[in-house]
Amino acid sequence: MDSQGRPDWAARLRVRQSALPAANLDGLVVSALPNIRYLTGFDGSAGALVVTKDEAILISDGRYALAIQEGMRAGALARVRFEQVSARYDLTLVEVVKSRGLKRVGFEAAHVTVAALRAWRHGLDELVWVETDDLVERQRLIKDAWEQEVYRRGGLAIASVAARLGEWVRPGRSEKEIARLIERGLEEAGFSKPAFATIVASGPNSAYPHARPTTRLVESGDLVVLDFGGVLDGYCLDLTRMCGAGRVSPAARALVAAVQEAHHAAVEAVRPGVEARAIDQAARNVFDAHGLGQAFQHGTGHGLGLEVHEAPRIARVSADPPEVVEAGMVFTIEPGAYVPGVGGVRLEDDVLVTSTGCEVLTGGPRELLVV
């Protein structure tokens, strides 16, 4: 972190630059916008970044020219060389690569279309384009000191929104109306925008893990799933809490207790060196013991960062080889159980992996909030 409380863009770019020789590359074209944002701070809707051993060239169009130049002057963006697109992105990219005499250039296989690659090859027949996978994504996986500080602030802020659920959730109010109140609460807590469309799922709707808010009015006896997130300084927080309207059934209460137990088991399983799937298994074992194995239909968690769903996946099947948890990762723990006729329950918190275990960033009660 520099003295102005901004990410150390130069350090992030240096990591990419110094990794080029080992990958036998003399350049890398970064085209995924969140990756460009991570390396430079640029958050426009179109751009490309060319990283060479000693240069970083940001290509964007006239809409962003002024903002980029001012951002660099103010230190809000990395100090890069800016190339304004004159006619077409691909033509400018080809020009930039050609003028540097690059011979072997990596591109992000997951983010470049066949058509884009064809355009880049056009007029650059001497150059070898090399597929790369997740280079910047892997760098984003471990949060630096600045990001960890954002996450600690964000955890407190989102917990403060959760603390207000009792003001907003009540019988007779619609799911849509409650979602709007939550989103206003996110703004009041300092988030720049919701991280995703807020989920408010009541009664029978709660049995669908990704229900969209409807005009249904909360009724006495309902379980209500409230899953919401906010973006703070570019980073996503994600939280789920449960409300019960009036008197909920013993079966619903038992479901809540099982999910609390699974949530606790999964959080306890987080520490550096464990496979991500072992954390998922810890939650799954609890559900199995309660005969609810079939009711848990999704993974236990997902990584958070500039995007609301990023690596690592805390799931039964993760990557090959299996993803291993490391200090500095931030991800959710969100086991849930969904039983048609009874309802659905999910509890979600965000954790930061430390050298010995994890820090739960999103505090506050996880009990069923009776409204």
The residues binding Zn ion (CB under 5 A) are: 227, 238, 240, 332, 348
* Least spacing, CB of residue 134 vs Zn ion, in Å: 20
CA angle (285 as vertex; 141, 314 as ends), nearest 5: 10
Q: What's the number of CA atoms in the CB half-sphere (13 Å) around residue 124?
A: 24
Query: Position 203: which residue type?
Result: G
Kindly give the pairing relationship between strand 104-108 and strand 193-194.
unpaired
CA angle (238 as vertex; 237, 241 as ends), nearest 5: 135
* Least spacing, CB of residue 333 vs Zn ion, in Å: 9
CB 312 within 8 A of CB 318: yes
CA angle (270 as vertex; 266, 271 as ends), nearest 5: 165
Taking the least distance from each CB to Zn ion, the nearer of 147 and 310 is 310
Taking the least distance from each CB to Zn ion, the nearer of 182 and 265 is 182
Q: Angle formed by the axes of helices 33-40 and 9-19, to 10°?
A: 120
* Least spacing, CB of residue 165 vs Zn ion, in Å: 14
CB 326 within 8 A of CB 272: yes
Taking the least distance from each CB to Zn ion, the nearer of 183 and 227 is 227
* Least spacing, CB of residue 310 vs Zn ion, in Å: 11
CB 125 within 8 A of CB 52: no
Within the chain, what is the greatest distance between any pair of CA atoms?
72
Taking the least distance from each CB to Zn ion, the nearer of 310 and 348 is 348
* Least spacing, CB of residue 92 vs Zn ion, in Å: 38
Q: Angle formed by the axes of helices 276-289 and 250-268, to 10°?
A: 150
Taking the least distance from each CB to Zn ion, the nearer of 108 and 238 is 238
* Least spacing, CB of residue 362 vs Zn ion, in Å: 11
Taking the least distance from each CB to Zn ion, the nearer of 51 and 279 is 279
Q: What is the DSSP letter of 217?
A: B
Taking the least distance from each CB to Zn ion, the nearer of 56 and 315 is 315
* Least spacing, CB of residue 86 vs Zn ion, in Å: 42
